[in-house]
Amino acid sequence: MKNKSIMIQGTGSHVGKSILVCALCRILKQDGFSVAPFKAQNMALNSFVTKEGKEMGRAQVAQAEAAKTEPVVEMNPILLKPTGDCGSQVIVMGKPVGNMTAKEYYQKKGELVSVIQDAYTALQRQFDIIVIEGAGSPAEINLKDGDIVNMGMAKMASAPVLLVTDIDRGGAFAWIVGTMELLNTDERERVKGIVFNKFRGDKNILKPGSGNA
């Protein structure tokens, strides 16, 4: 089949993106497809060491396990391991390249686009479907210039986007509307569906809100 991709983005951190990517990886695998997870840039203090001795984010390892495939650094080409409030150790394709302040890293991000593209292309050659995970929110307007992990990645992969929100926290409708309003027209058109994560109870309760959203 022609290689396809789908991307999970969130209205914020900890809304359940990683778990949903796991679920999609397993469902698609059970449907007979070869599947790989992908997250261009992950921030996590604890890492996983691959068979080749390279570091990658643990979330992508769990997702690879869900897809029943071996975790490789191409699934997470950039890993940031915080060293304090304003800096991180930067891991590129599984190898540390040094510690950087947030400012230094944002100045260097443009150089990492080709690394991300090469990693994604390598997975495309091996798998039918790539399930991509974003980071934080795509609507952080102070971070949108040079974005490599949310809508910038969706554009690179020509991927449709599912936007996930956590209704358990409250304010889910405002979170969705605010996110969509801060996206530009092209970005909004990439969003093909909205997921209310952690919803429990009678789904009819959502209907009045969906009519006004």
How confident is the model over 22-53, as pLDDT tens digits? Answer: 999 999 999 999 999 999 999 988 899 999 99
pLDDT for position 130: 98
E strands, 4-150, are: 4-10, 35-38, 41-43, 47-49, 55-57, 78-82, 87-92, 95-101, 129-133
**Mean per-residue pLDDT, 161-166:** 97
pLDDT in tens, 113-127: 999 999 999 999 999
Residues 6+ apart with CB under 8 A from 119: 38, 40, 73, 74, 75, 77, 93
- In the DSSP assignment, the letter for residue 101 is E
Domains of the chain from N-terminus onward: 4-38+61-70+112-212 (3.40.50.300)
If pLDDT is split at 50, 70 and 90, which confidence band does 209 have? low
E strands, the chain, are: 4-10, 35-38, 41-43, 47-49, 55-57, 78-82, 87-92, 95-101, 129-133, 161-166, 191-197
Question: Considering only 154-158, 190-194, 199-203, which range has the smallest mean pLDDT?
Answer: 199-203
38 closest CA partner among 84, 77, 12 = 77
pLDDT in tens, 49-66: 999 999 999 999 999 999
Bridge partners of residue 37, in order along the sequence: 131
Which tokens hold the place of 187? 């970005």
Q: Is the pLDDT of residue 2 over 80?
A: no
pLDDT for position 157: 96
pLDDT for position 210: 64
pLDDT for position 207: 76
Cα distances (Å, whole numbers) of residue 105 to 27, 108, 120, 138, 148: 36, 5, 21, 18, 12
- pTM of the predicted structure, to 2 decimals: 0.92
